[in-house]
A and B are shown apart, each in its own frame.
Chain A
Amino acid sequence: MSSLTTSVTSALGSNVVRDLSDTNTIIAVNDLKVYYGDFLAVTDTSMNVPEKRITAMIGPSGCGKSTVLKVFNRMNDLVPSARVEGMVSYHDQNIYDSAVDPVAVRARIGMVFQRPNPFPKSIYDNVAWGAKINGYRGNMDELVERSLRQAALWDEVKDKLKDSGLSLSGGQQQRLCIARTIATQPDVILMDEPCSALDPISTLRIEDLMRELVEDYTIIIVTHNMQQAARVSDVTAFMTLTEGRSGTLAEMGPTDEIFTSPRDPRTEDYITGKVG
């Protein structure tokens, strides 16, 4: 066993594994194909994402992890050449149905990006804006405080809510982005390599935060970092590349099984560091 595998399995030990038997599927993907122009970026991908669990998507660069993530909240619509085939249902409703408004989808399925992207506005406004445009009518001060507390940022910013969101450190900015996503009260939070631009301490804070948030939210995280997937996720989806350089789902299952006894040889090769 390589040292990498050892560190991944020891990371597994720190994970508080949640039971997968009593959870429903919140997002179901059936025979997904994603094209960018003529290029088939993702193919033959079907998966069930469990509700109120953390699902990690891992795999080599260019295997379509982020593409699949963006399919979940229709952010792919913003890429003019992108085309999606197959069925993606959220609570049994096909989100690619022509009657579905992508704006409504994104209000329920929020997203945190790879690089923190707070709005060039005050910390308070960063959190309040999403809630306001989604028609939140309650006490805004309370919501902002609650969201910032949930994002484990409140104590650091409570005395400077009027300061610009850009004045915060990278890790704080990312937690601010999580807070603003929480404030819109979504069902699902998508995270696209949320820690790749952060230092190890900030990374651990975000991981702790994910473990708290999963009590109320479904989280899907794309990560390059296998230890991170092992540390935080309940379910891991391993994506890989086909012969034709399209991304595809190789295997998905409970995180400890994927890391200790993968069924697909490609998963094993990747996890033990033979490829990727």
Chain B
Amino acid sequence: MNAINSSLVTTQGRLRRRQIFGSIMSAALMIATAFGILVLIVLLISIVRDGGHTLNWNFMTALPSRFPDRAGIRVALLGSIWIMVLTAFVTFPIGVGAAIYLEEFAPPGRITTTIRTNIANLAGVPSIVYGLLGLGIFVELLSMGRSIAAGALTLSLLVLPVVIIASQEALRAVPDSIRQGGLALGATRLQVVRAHVFPAALPGILTGTILALSRAIGETAPLIVIGAVAFLNFSPEGLGSKFSVLPLAIYGWTARPQDDFHAIAAGGIIVLLAVLLTMNMGAILLRNHFQNKQQG
């Protein structure tokens, strides 16, 4: 009896060492988490302090100007929205379609494996390379010029691999038993995918797509290559319009020597972050909506 009791309350030896190691590790992991959040908080505070006062209706609606107090973000904001919406419309059907084919239909074999591996590689290609590709294909070859359409298509190329991979993961997470259940009822593969697999994967697909788009909204390099400009004194009107985007406008302002421009650059960053947060919020709402639909 005594032996059992003492072994259950051991404060030395192996058990004790394991407990200490566990505490150290969990503290280390907490610090790792705190690091990222802390840096983000510091960044946010400094930006709001620098640019918070520049945010007003005039800033949102005014055209660019060489006077900082008159300069607005309207053109870049509209440009970013145009580009994002178009990119979403291009990437969603193509990316999800490719993922469905690769996961559900492609015959297993070397070709399929090669394609899968290379999509992962494409996701790692530097964005400037996509810019050059867009310049060659859309701007020059297809004579779209330095237009919103060319910009959106270029960004679509950039995010497609990410959308495909995210959608593949979401499809793979759907249990095989659902596919088998559907097929055993005499359904074709397409019917099973349409009725069960795709709806079950949709929340994951949407999350992945919107995260990929959030990456695209911050992209500058490929758009500079295809000819987006930091200063444009008219709002985009259609697919063929010249355009600017938020990160480019922010870059333009920070490149100026005057402090007042730096302040409105901070204001621009706040707007960009607000757009990003809105998009992510939209992703979460959409996901919850479809998840509830699945369960209810």
Contact = CB atoms under 8 A, between A and B. Distances in A.
Given A80-B108, A163-B296, A164-B295, A133 B178 contact: no
B200 interface: yes
A78 B182 CA distance: 12
Contacts of B185: 106-107, 110, 129-130, 133-134, 180-181, 184
A80 B106 CA distance: 12
B200 A120 contact: yes
B187 A133 contact: yes
B13 interface: no
B184 A120 contact: no
B295 A106 contact: no
A111 B181 CA distance: 8
Contacts, number: 76
A115 interface: yes
Interface in B139-191: 175, 177-178, 180-188, 191
A133 B191 contact: yes
Chain B CB within 10 A, most for which of A133, A167, A177: A133
The residue among A119, A122, A130 with the most chain B CB atoms within 10 A of its own CB is A119
Instruction: Tell me whether chain B's interface is mostly helix, strand or loop, or mixed.
Output: helix
A107 B181 CA distance: 12
B186 A107 contact: yes
A117 B179 CA distance: 9
Nearest to B187: A133
A103 interface: yes
A119 B196 contact: yes
Interface in B99-120: 108
A120 B191 contact: no
B294 A120 contact: yes
B177 A130 contact: no
* A107, A117, A134, A180 interface centre (most CB from chain B within 10 Å): A117
Given A110-B184, A117-B181, 6 more contacts: A78-B180, A107-B186, A110-B185, A117-B175, A133-B195, A164-B296
The 8 closest A-B pairs by CB, nearest first: A107-B186, A130-B185, A117-B177, A111-B184, A117-B181, A106-B186, A120-B294, A133-B187
24 contacts: A75-B180, A78-B180, A80-B108, A103-B183, A103-B188, A107-B185, A108-B186, A111-B184, A113-B177, A117-B180, A118-B181, A119-B178, A119-B181, A119-B195, A121-B294, A129-B185, A133-B185, A162-B296, A164-B294, A164-B296, A167-B295, A177-B181, A181-B185, A184-B185
